[in-house]
């Protein structure tokens, strides 16, 4: 009986070593980035430019920080799925596309689905709280073969054009 247990444990340890090697070979890492929104410009439904009741989304720019040091910049577009933007709705869905540029390293694109919370009862008028989850692709430079997942949360004020975001990246290189 004890011999069967030893053989079973040996087989389990071989599977464990194989799994560990595949995880190491995947070169998977996690990074937490802080982002400061430097501009948040409304985009309008065609033909209704400047009409605050006809916003279809926002164009954003931001600075990217890792461990408190600025490591890059970025741009993005947030497009609501059911325009126009309505600050009286509690929840809205949007698609986010961001390009993060890290000088001397490269850039990568994030495409994500977002759920945002806003209402006329927020503590600060114009604040929108968002959460997103999506994919990382289209890397350039040393990030060319980088793929993975992005998730995060943020708070932006659409009237002030500023905000803060935290992004968690789970990436793999060398696919």
Residue 147 lies in a domain: yes
97 within domain boundaries: yes
**Percentage of residues of the chain with pLDDT beyond 70:** 79
SS3 for the chain, per residue? CHHHHHHHHHHHHHHHHHHHHHHHHCCEEEEEEEEEEEEEEEEECCCCCCCHHHEEEEEEEEEEEECCEEEEEEEEEEEECCCCCCCCCCEEEEEEEEEEEECCCEEEEEEEEEEEECCCCCCCCCEEEEEEEEEEECCCHHHCCEEEEEEEEEEEECCCCEEEEEEEEEEEECC
What pLDDT score does 51 carry? Answer: 84
Q: Is residue 103 part of a domain?
A: yes
Q: Is residue 113 part of a domain?
A: yes
pLDDT tier, 158 (very low <50, low <70, confident <90, very high otherwise) = confident
Question: Taking residues 10-23, what's their average pLDDT?
Answer: 50
Domain annotation covers residue 98: yes
Confirm whether 3 is domain-assigned. no
**Residue 133 has which token pair?**
């989850």
- Full-prediction pTM beyond 0.85? no
pLDDT, tens digit, 9 for 90 and up, residues 90-141: 788 899 999 999 998 999 999 999 988 876 666 677 788 899 999 999 999 9
Q: Please report, for the domain that includes residue 139, its CATH number.
A: 2.40.480.10
Would residue 144 count as lying in a domain? yes
> Is residue 9 a part of any domain in this protein?
no
Domain total of the chain: 1
What is the per-residue pLDDT across 61-94, written as a single tens digit (0 to 9) for each?
Answer: 999 999 999 999 999 999 998 888 776 767 888 9
Q: State the residue range of the domain holding 49.
A: 29-173
Q: What is the pLDDT of residues 19-28, one digit of tens each?
A: 444 444 457 8
Average pLDDT, rounded, for the chain? 84
């Amino acid at each position: 009986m004890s011999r069967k247990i030893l053989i079973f444990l040996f087989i389990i340890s071989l599977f464990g070593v194989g799994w560990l090697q595949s995880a190491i070979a995947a070169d998977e890492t996690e990074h937490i980035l802080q982002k400061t929104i430097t501009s948040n410009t409304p985009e309008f439904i065609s033909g209704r430019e400047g009409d605050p009741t006809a916003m279809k989304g926002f164009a954003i720019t931001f600075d990217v920080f890792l461990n408190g040091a600025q490591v890059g910049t970025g741009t993005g577009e947030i497009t609501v799925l059911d325009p126009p933007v309505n600050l009286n709705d509690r929840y809205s869905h949007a698609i986010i596309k961001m390009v993060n540029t890290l000088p001397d390293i490269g850039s990568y694109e994030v495409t994500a689905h977002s759920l945002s919370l806003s209402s006329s009862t927020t503590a600060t008028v114009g604040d929108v709280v968002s959460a997103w989850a999506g994919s990382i692709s289209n890397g350039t430079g040393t990030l060319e073969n980088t793929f993975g997942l992005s998730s995060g949360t943020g708070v932006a004020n659409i009237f002030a054009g500023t905000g803060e975001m935290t992004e968690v990246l789970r990436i793999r290189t060398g696919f």
